[in-house]
Amino acid sequence: MRPAGYVPRIRMTGPQRRSQLIGIGRGLFALRGLDGTTIEEIAASAGVSKPVIYEHFGSKEGLYTQVVDYEFRILLGAINDALSEEAKPRVLVERAALALLNYIEDRTDGFRILMRDAPPTQPEGAFSTLLSQVTARVEHILADEFARRGFTAADGAMYAQMLVGMVAMTGQWWLDSRTPDKRDVAAHLVNLAWNGLTGLQKDPELRSGD
């Protein structure tokens, strides 16, 4: 006779179990952080024993690293896709800002994790690593625009840092507020970045469509 509260263990293939554990780990790590989450909690939530987690990831830290790497690739891929198509520089900035806000909206737990603890494989922090890679892309894309306006390559690198940092910090703020609408947020971001404080438009709109 099965005890009260018994939950039958669902048989999964190795990849299915691994994906399940990553999903459960993402939710718990986002809520409590790496140190605040125990291997027992993860196992109980997944309906498995602790050795199953060790078998797939080696340790709690191993699972955490996999979660971070997975989310890192998703966000970096989204931003790279936004910057990969030919378009005017301003439109590319719009697309990149929207890509970040879309990720925050669709994968809130993942973003909280990227902002939180640094995994062993990225001691400088996953989000810092991400921003460095995105900044390099933005610097390259906007190089001609900076040069046309009389800026040196060093100036362009500095402004790329400022631009990416501004978008990232605004994304962190929007994570909790979720207002105004993300398209309005992206429009105002580009308004400030593109027009500068002396040329702000009262009611900016995106020019890249949906």
Rounded CA separation 145/163 (Å) = 14
82-86, 126-130, 168-172, 200-204 — most confident range: 168-172
Helices 108-115 and 60-84: crossing angle, nearest 10°? Answer: 110
Distance CA 96, CA 80 (A): 8
* Per-residue model confidence (pLDDT) at position 150: 81
Average pLDDT value for residue range 156-163:
88
Copy the structure tokens of residue 16: 């299915």
In this prediction, residue 6 carries a pLDDT of 41
Quote the pLDDT of residue 19: 95
Residue 29 structure tokens:
């790590």
Model pLDDT, residue 85: 82
pLDDT of 195 above 50: yes
Do you find a cis peptide bond into 51, omega within 30 degrees of 0?
Answer: no
CA geometry: angle 108, 17, 59, nearest 5 deg: 80
Task: Report percent pLDDT > 90 for the chain.
Answer: 49
Which pLDDT score is estimated for 121? Answer: 58
State the Cα–Cα distance between residues 206 and 210, nearest whole angstrom: 9
pLDDT value at 25 more than 60: yes
Q: Tell me the average pLDDT across 13-31.
A: 94
Q: Residue 10 — very low, low, confident or very high, per pLDDT cuts 50/70/90?
A: low
Q: Residues near 118 by Cβ (< 8 Å), separated by ≥ 6?
A: 124, 125, 126
Tell me how many degrees the CA angle 7-71-120 measures, rounded to the nearest 5: 95
Q: Where residue 118 falls among pLDDT bands split at 50, 70, 90? A: low
pLDDT at 131: 87
**If you average pLDDT over residues 169-190, what whole number do you get?**
93
CATH superfamily, domain at 68-199: Tetracycline Repressor, domain 2 (1.10.357.10)
**pLDDT higher than threshold 90 for residue 43:** yes
Report how far Cα 129 is from the mean position of its chain's Cα atoms: 11
More confident site: 106 or 118: 106
How many CA within 13 A on the CB side of residue 162?
12
Homologous superfamily of the 14-62 domain (CATH): Homeodomain-like (1.10.10.60)
Average pLDDT over residues 23-47: 94
Domain segments of the chain: what residues? 14-62, 68-199
Give pTM, 2 decimals.
Answer: 0.81
Encode pLDDT of 48-93 as tens digits.
Answer: 999 999 999 999 999 999 999 999 999 999 999 998 888 888 898 8
